Amino acid sequence: MTHAQLIRIVRASAVYDLVVTSLFALPFTARWLFDALAALHDQLGLPGTTPDSGDVYAVMFANLMGGLVVVWSILRLVRPSFAAGTADIGARVFFSIGMLSALAAGASPLVAVMLVLELAWALVQGAAVAVRARQRRAGALAGVAA
């Protein structure tokens, strides 16, 4: 795994996050997204609940999360790095824990789709970071031995 390959993975995960979370960042887009998810949930006849677009706290927390992820995504696009990729894995683990908790509490199974994608990106970046870290250690040890 080259450094350039790792950087491409970090950037790709940032683009994914930007596309998926940008609608959560503003009140009017979050409300629209909540309503769209509720409509899809109902169309599919799924069990569980969806966020209420009229709940000011749900919208506010969605805006906080969406805004933070948009900023974090832009940072990873502009300054992708080994450290950013590593930190993003941790963020994905925290998001996954939140999604698992929501599913256990009765959230719509639509959350499971987001969870699978979140875990997939954690695994892809985790593998890339692990391989690159081993290569860096091997290179450092080779330099010490020389």
Mean pLDDT in runs of 10 for the chain (146 residues)?
A: 92 97 97 98 98 97 97 98 96 97 98 98 96 85 60
Which residue matches tokens 């998926």? 20
Q: Which two tokens stand for residue 106?
A: 């009765």
- pTM score above 0.85: yes
Tell me if 112 sits within 8 A of 103, measured CB to CB.
Answer: yes
